[in-house]
Amino acid sequence: MKSMRRSIGRVIRALGIRRRHSHGHAYITETDSLALSDGWKDPRLPKRQRRVYDRALDDMRSGNSPRSFQVAAEATRLSGILAPSILEIGSGSGYYSEVFLPMVSAKASYVGLDYSLPMVSLAKAKYGPVSRFCVGDATSLPFRSGSFDVAFSGGVLLHVRDFRRAIVETRRVARYWAVFHVIPCVVSSDTSLVKKSAYGVEVMEVIFNQGELCSAFEECGLRMRERFVLEAYPVGLLQEKAHLLTFACEVVQ
């Protein structure tokens, strides 16, 4: 248990977060995952998560950007688009809207989507008309095909039961580029469903086999152009280290 807590602490530091807000991983079944699939809609989560990311944003403003912000920006800039339209899928309370404008392009336009009404409500309260936020499902995005230059799946794919459908939808709305950010991956073990406590609420998480995930990208028309490693960490459930990865993918026309 102590080793697991230390490993989670290392992951949080890699994300620029100083406290432990995620712990208690355990394997679950498909039936269990269905019961936990609405965990992130819990109305207690937005403010708890926001307090953590407000500190990360303060670090960014002081010139000490967390690595997760740096990688998100670099993976998006690789699209080569000078003034990209960006859709963030799984935008939470909208904190990445503050990352993209200074670190990607001051001319970027941003739309945030999250399946949690409490998250979207907090985003609108924080940012008002400056950015657009809406409620929607990653597996059935309410946008026309090719609506955005860049589709940025921000730390959400790991919480989606039908993650293959979410990848297909991300590809559909992306005109040129798709980024899958903060994805836990292993090399030898199979893709696994687990549960964990996030900010005091039980949620579902997918730990991906990296090869299977990359094959899913390719099958739906995404060509991986760059892979970023945020952190390697031991997971007590597995016989190998997991890696937090970010994938920058080109849409195959």
Domains and CATH numbers, the chain: 2-251 (3.40.50.150)
Mean pLDDT of 64-70: 95
Query: Where residue 63 falls among pLDDT bands split at 50, 70, 90?
Result: very high
Query: How large a percentage of the chain has pLDDT more than 70?
Result: 87
pTM of the model: 0.88
Q: What is the mean pLDDT of the chain?
A: 88
Q: What pLDDT shows up at residue 1?
A: 38
Range with the lowest mean pLDDT among 15-29, 157-171, 217-231?
15-29
Q: What pLDDT shows up at residue 97?
A: 94
202 backbone dihedrals φ, ψ, rounded to 5°: -75, 130
Q: Is the pLDDT of residue 247 over 50?
A: yes
Q: Is the pLDDT of residue 99 over 80?
A: yes
Q: Is the pLDDT of residue 13 over 50?
A: no
Q: Is the pLDDT of residue 22 over 70?
A: no
Q: What pLDDT shows up at residue 187?
A: 93
Query: Where residue 25 falls among pLDDT bands split at 50, 70, 90?
Result: low
Nearest partner of 224 among 172, 157, 177, 174, judged by Cα: 177
Q: Give Dmax (Cα) for the chain.
A: 48
Q: Is the pLDDT of residue 6 over 60?
A: no
pLDDT in tens, 211-232: 999 999 999 999 999 999 999 8
